[in-house]
Structure 1
Amino acid sequence: MTLRIWHQSVNELDRIKAYKRGIEAHAARFLRDEASVVVHGMPTGTYGELSPSDALGNAYLYHRVLSPIVEQAVEAERQGYDAFVMGSFSEPYLREMRTAVDIPVVSLTEAALLTGCALGGKIGMISNAPNVAYMTRNSVAKHHLEARVSAVTSLLPGMDEYELIAARDNPQAMIDAFTTRARELIADGAEVIVPAEGVMAEILAAQGLTRIDGAVVLDVFAAAWTQAIGLARLRRGLGLGVSRAWAYSRGEN
């Protein structure tokens, strides 16, 4: 049977429909018949007049608007999905979701870091804006991978999700800005470059950018879906799922 993956964005996809279409097209090209990806977003109006990049820097707003995502993972399991992908580098409530469901829960950040560790010794991460880079640094620390990440930086000047999607049909200026930052990281020892923001990462994947000066530019969506498929197969074939000791315990011990 074809595996089904619930891909959860933190964007209001009604406002950036090209992003949703881009993820779906990318999944179809990359996964073919191996798995199907269904893309979900946040309700229209979630962030008001703000972009997600601007809104999620506020811890209270982050909690208020993103805590319902835990129930999205529960709903994915209820509907029979094989895996849930948290398609945001802010990776909200990752521990809570893994506590709540038995299906694999994968995040873009963690999957990118783990894949990057297999492809090179040092990882450089480029976000779309400084506040997203700050959240990404916190995620790197949460996964205890600071020693493998040379730096987390951002585009100059920064671009929010709506500015990025507006540049989707003519992305050369954004690609040039990304390449400039990547070369700085590569000169400092980075061997794998991670585009650490979903909209930007989808545009770069669609443009086929996979290497800069010999360093890998990671397709973070492909990395996350591949990890989700692997974990789903382990669960189907061996009954091997998330640990219930300590971090992801349900209080049964």
Structure 2
Amino acid sequence: MKIWHQSLTSIEDIPVYRDAVVNHLSKIARPDVDVVLHGMSKETYPQQYPGHFITYNYLQSLHKEQFIRNAMIAEKAGYDAVFIGTIPDVGLIEARSIVDIPVIGYGQASMHIASMLGTKIGIVNFLAPLVDQLRFNAQQYGLGEKVGPIIQADIGFYDILEGFDNPQPIIEKFTIAAQQAIAQGADIIIPGEGPMNIFLANFGIHHVDNVPIIDSFGAGIKMCETMVDLYKISGMSMARTGFFNEKPPAEVLEKLRSYYNLPDVSADMDFGLSIRSVTSSV
């Protein structure tokens, strides 16, 4: 099985984060599963982390095209599933409507897993402008009533990168924010953005005051594996009726993509980093 991981960062240019993702995903994925990392194109951001380039509705909508296009490339290249590895689930609904392989979102997978393990979901993140989007997404996923406090940790992306060498300050700041969520009724915690999830997982932080912390990357990869298995075993697949799920005719899709000067897609446009190839060379 082969899973296309899609980051909202230019992950290839952030070796500390990339290596931490490789380390964690190599433990999560089954031995017969190869997860292949993909970042945004190198020209997308002027710096390592997208930051405010993803915290405005229109700007984020512009980024959707890379996620949608890459889902199409993944299908053509023979991947079995796509994992959108960012909590806003950029392009998730659109990508599902145009490819037949499973497309799983970090946010949706972690919220659904959390809803099965607890009664009130708390989210600890560090990009405050995403709060509105996370609540909107939760409503779309039918989980609006389950999502409780969303707390901003006094942490930034670059703090987390530095934390891989000096973890205790980040762990303490996350713990403070998680305790605030717990005090407001949360009995299960989702670590907001992917870097925070990967940091906590790499340092074995799975609970705060006996309240579980969701491994969102783990939930997403395991959901990919499960959906692929269920399709092969019992034919389970996406609904294909209605505005959100019906596939547009291929010729119409191709014509409109051409009209809007969007690039063609082909299997040879896959330039990802295979987790299996990295770990086997170590």
Q: Could you say which TM-score interval applies, normalised by the shorter chain?
A: over 0.9
Query: 1:238 and 2:238 equivalent?
Result: no
1:235: how far off? 1.1
| Structure-1 residue corresponding to 2:193 | 197
Tell me how far 1:32 sits from its aligned partner. 4.1
Amino acid at match of 2:21: I
Tell me: CA distance 1:177–1:74, structure 2 relative to 1, closer, same or farther (3 Å): same
Q: Does 1:28 align with 2:26?
A: yes
Q: How many angstroms apart in 1 are the aligned matches of 2:159 and 2:86?
A: 17
Q: Per-residue displacement from partner, 1:88-114 (whole Å, max 9, x unpaired)?
A: 112111111000100100000000011
Mapped to 2, the partners of 1:44 and 1:187 lie a distance apart of: 41
> RMSD in angstroms over aligned alpha carbons?
1.7
Structure 2: distance between partners of 1:173 and 1:141: 34
Distance in structure 2 (CA, Å) of the matches to 1:26 and 1:49: 24
Structure 2 unpaired stretches of 5+: 250-282
**Pairing 1:176–2:177 present:** no
Partner of 2:100 in structure 1?
102
The answer as to whether partners of 1:27 and 1:36 remain within 8 angstroms in 2 is no
Name the structure, 1 or 2, with higher relative contact order (CA <8 Å, separation 6+): 2
- Residue 273 (structure 2) aligns with: none
TM-score computed with the length of structure 2 as normaliser: 0.83
Instruction: Give me the whole-angstrom Cα distance separating, in 2, the residues matched to 1:228 and 1:50.
Output: 27
- Secondary structure, counterpart of 2:16 in structure 1: helix
Does 49-58 or 103-112 show the bigger shift? 49-58
Distance (Å, rounded) in 1 between the aligned partners of 2:232 and 2:89: 25
AA aligned to 2:186 is A
Shift of residue 233 of structure 1? 0.5
Counterpart CA distance in 2 for 1:28 and 1:49 is 27
Separation of aligned partners in 2, 1:152 and 1:184: 9
Instruction: Report how many aligned residue pairs link the two structures.
Output: 248
CA contact (8 A) 2:40 2:66 kept: no
Q: Deviations over 1:83-137 (max 9, x none)?
A: 1000011211111100010010000000001100111111100112212333322
For residue 181 of structure 1, what is the amino acid of its counterpart? A
1:164 matched to 2:160: yes
Correspondence 1:249 to 2:257:
no
Correspondence for 1:212: 208
Q: CA deviation at 1:214?
A: 1.2
Quick check: 2:10–2:49 contact (8 Å CA) kept in 1?
A: no
Report the AA paired with residue 113 of structure 2: T
Partner of 1:58: 56
- Length-normalised TM-score, structure 1: 0.92
After superposition, what is the alpha-carbon deviation per residue over 1:168-201, rounded to whole angstroms, capped at 9, x for unaligned? 2212111111111111111222111000100111
* Structure with max Cα Rg: 2
Aligned partner (choices 91, 109, 112) of residue 114 of structure 1:
112
Question: Deviation at 1:29?
Answer: 1.4
- Structure 1 distance, partners of 2:191, 2:51, is 15
CA distance in 1, matches of 2:132, 2:48: 18
Identity across matched positions, percent:
29
Deviation at 1:231, TM superposition (A): 0.4
**1:73 deviation in Å?**
0.4
